[in-house]
Chain A
Amino acid sequence: KQEVTQIPAALSVPEGENLVLNCSFTDSAIYNLQWFRQDPGKGLTSLLLIQSSQREQTSGRLNASLDKSSGRSTLYIAASQPGDSATYLCAATNNDMRFGAGTRLTVKP
């Protein structure tokens, strides 16, 4: 059974700082890995999808990498802003999608 772990559980940084969120998964036979953002009480917004054959994806200030062999993915956020404050979830897809518990990010002005 796929297990997904996210570290740290919570992170607080000053505005403008670059940061890295970590995600690890136990079963490397994934089809893809997806990063989501979730605001309090809201649904999930997809940020980046990395196919199993890819190493990274970029969207604006976000960059996600994937290392299947080591079972790891990272989400890099450049020049963080207060509007980036949210919970970030990673999810690995085998036959279905399994989520980590998320990293709660707070960016202080």
Chain B
Amino acid sequence: DTGVSQDPRHKITKRGQNVTFRCDPISEHNRLYWYRQTLGQGPEFLTYFQNEAQLEKSRLLSDRFSAERPKGSFSTLEIQRTEQGDSAMYLCASRSTGGAGPNYGYTFGSGTRLTVV
């Protein structure tokens, strides 16, 4: 297992189009997270899954955003009717919650850079 993989690395789309990103976590990690990062800022939490269950969604995740992790393995993040403000780096991370608590570090993918024109 080589880590967390994200596809595509870059996406340019026209305003109003739908886009979908994919994340493949480390296989033994049960938790998967999505973050969004804009220029000059730290990543902002969007949502996370434990196995196939989506346990939390940020207020940043508007109705145009939807995330799935159907079999508890890979995850997809879809943005409908994209807007220029959606332009950002979308980062995926995974970790294991084995043991007594969430003391295990996150492993991040390389991200998908979205540009909405």
* Residues of chain A whose beta carbon lies under 8 Å from any beta carbon of chain B: 4, 6, 31-32, 34, 36, 41-46, 49, 51-52, 89, 91, 93, 95-102
The reply to whether B41 and A101 contact each other, CB–CB distance below 8 Å, is yes
User: Which chain B residues in 68-114 approach chain A with CB under 8 Å?
Assistant: 89, 91, 93, 101-103, 105-111, 113
The reply to whether B103 and A98 contact each other, CB–CB distance below 8 Å, is no
* Residues of chain B whose beta carbon lies under 8 Å from any beta carbon of chain A: 6, 33, 35, 40-45, 48, 56, 89, 91, 93, 101-103, 105-111, 113
Can you list 15 A-B pairs with a CB-CB distance of less than 8 A? A32-B102, A32-B103, A41-B89, A43-B91, A46-B105, A46-B107, A51-B103, A95-B102, A96-B33, A99-B35, A99-B42, A99-B43, A99-B44, A101-B42, A102-B41
The reply to whether B45 and A97 contact each other, CB–CB distance below 8 Å, is yes
Cβ–Cβ < 8 Å partners of A46 in chain B: 105-108
Cβ–Cβ < 8 Å partners of B113 in chain A: 41
Closest-CB distance, B87 to chain A (whole angstroms)? 13
Those 5 A-B pairs whose CB atoms lie nearest each other, nearest first:
A99-B42, A43-B110, A49-B105, A44-B108, A43-B111
The reply to whether B42 and A96 contact each other, CB–CB distance below 8 Å, is no
- Given the known A-B contacts A44-B91, A95-B56, A96-B48, are A34 and B111 also in contact in the complex, defined by CB atoms under 8 Å? no
In angstroms, Cα B93 to Cα A44, docked, is 9
The reply to whether A101 and B40 contact each other, CB–CB distance below 8 Å, is yes
Cβ–Cβ < 8 Å partners of B45 in chain A: 96-98
Cβ–Cβ < 8 Å partners of A42 in chain B: 110-111
The reply to whether B40 and A31 contact each other, CB–CB distance below 8 Å, is no
The reply to whether B102 and A36 contact each other, CB–CB distance below 8 Å, is no
Q: Which of A31, A36, A89 contacts B103 (CB 8 A)?
A: A31
In angstroms, Cα B93 to Cα A101, docked, is 18
In angstroms, Cα B110 to Cα A4, docked, is 23
- Given the known A-B contacts A42-B111, A43-B91, are A34 and B42 also in contact in the complex, defined by CB atoms under 8 Å? no
The reply to whether B105 and A102 contact each other, CB–CB distance below 8 Å, is no
The reply to whether A43 and B109 contact each other, CB–CB distance below 8 Å, is yes
Cβ–Cβ < 8 Å partners of A97 in chain B: 33, 45, 93, 106
- Given the known A-B contacts A100-B42, A102-B42, are A43 and B108 also in contact in the complex, defined by CB atoms under 8 Å? yes
